[in-house]
Amino acid sequence: MNTNPQIHSPMASFAKPSGAVPFVFGCVLLGTIGLFVHEAHADPLTATWFRCVFGLAGLTLWLALRGQTRFLRLGRRTGPWVLTAGSLMVLSWGLFFTAIEHIPTGMAIVLFHVQPVWVLALGAVCLGERVGRRRAGAVAVAMIGLVLATGVIGHGVDGEGYWLAVASCLLGAFCMACVTIIARRLRDLPAGTLAWWQCAIGTLTLWIWPMQHGWPVWGASWLWLAGLGVIHTSLAYSLMYGGMARLHTGRIAVLQFVYPAVGIVVDWLLLDQRLGSVQLAGVVLMLIAIGLAEQKRRRLSN
């Protein structure tokens, strides 16, 4: 009798070829997060808490419908890794929401995505995975695009707020890279389990903040905050972790650039945060790097 919970699940069949499709779709969903944060009008830790609460509700329902709530029980082998990943992810969410109080959301997303470099390094050190020249080159090209897309080049930036945001993004990026490596170690867990624990930890540790600092005004803000939990946490992270379990860390590092590219375009189209020609060139460069890396991979697999 087969006891692997992923074999017959809808997510497993969706991600079966390589995991790239659900992973990229999850990244695309995350790229729209700036709109929801902007419209929610909540302070960083309040938004983080609501994201955890609504995400926890959505993921609990998801796992219950699939009959996989038993996998939420932590064992001696997986427990420390799950709790560590959950704590790091909640910290990264708080840092991200802190950053976007001082800089445009698209720029914060872009700065956060120095993490592919960390993913490659940690994958080689912690998992012993070999980093191919093509993939390393693609990440390097994408990182150049990342720098261009921030708009730092050719524009003077100063002030404590800006550099606080930069520091928050860089620290948050390292936290997320660590979570990516842990998720690769926990690939046998059903999709959504790791994200459930992240939301549970955030719900338990941050509840005091909105209690002391006030709740958002009832109405539209709550709907946007619910979207942060249901769409950008329950759905997006289930898709990403389901796909991540079947991807090499080098490929994850390249495909992650979908997230900042979408985030910048969403800011441009929906929040009227216009991009200069250099920034647009950076986004295009990131997309070209992703396309070339995937094209090389397909040629090698044929």
- Confidence tier at 246 by pLDDT (50, 70, 90): confident
Tokens of 289: 């790097």
Q: Which two tokens stand for residue 212?
A: 């002391």
Give the pLDDT score at 127: 64
280 vs 22 pLDDT, higher one: 22
Q: Residue 288 has what pLDDT? A: 77
pLDDT level of residue 275 (50, 70, 90 thresholds): low
Assess whether pLDDT exceeds 60 at residue 137. Answer: yes
257-260-265 Cα angle (round to 5): 125
How does DSSP classify residue 217?
P
Closest CA to 109 of 292, 272, 258: 258
| CA pair distance 135, 51, nearest whole angstrom | 33
What number is the average pLDDT over the span 3-12?
Answer: 40
Give this prediction's pTM. 0.70
Alpha-carbon distance of 251 to 27, in angstroms, equals 14
User: CA-CA distance, 44 to 96, in Å (whole number)?
Assistant: 8
- Please provide the size of the chain in residues: 302
Tens digit of each residue's pLDDT (9 = 90 or more) over 182-213: 887 787 777 678 889 989 998 998 888 888 87
Given pLDDT bands bounded at 50, 70 and 90, which one contains residue 224? very high
The answer on pLDDT for 155 being more than 90 is no
Continuous H helices in the chain: 10-15, 20-30, 33-40, 44-65, 79-99, 105-112, 115-126, 133-150, 160-185, 193-206, 208-213, 220-229, 236-244, 249-255, 258-270, 277-301
pLDDT computed for residue 3 by the predictor = 43
Residue type, 186: L
Token pair, residue 216, equals: 């958002």
Whether 101 contacts 44, CB under 8 Å: yes
Q: 134 or 301: which carries more pLDDT confidence? A: 134
Q: Considering only 56-60, 136-140, 217-221, which range has the smallest mean pLDDT? A: 136-140
113-133, pLDDT tens digit by residue?
Answer: 677 677 767 776 676 666 667
**Of the candidate ranges 65-74, 123-132, 265-274, the one whose mean pLDDT is the lowest:** 123-132
Dihedral angle sign, alpha carbons of residues 185, 237, 59, 200: positive
Confidence of residue 9 (pLDDT cuts 50, 70, 90): very low
Query: Is the pLDDT at 293 greater than 80, yes or no?
Result: no
Q: What pLDDT score does 160 carry?
A: 65
- Mean pLDDT is highest, among 88-92, 135-139, 181-185, 245-249, for 88-92
Helix (H, G, I), strand (E, B) or coil at 212: helix
Q: What is the C-alpha separation between 232 and 236, in angstroms, rounded?
A: 5
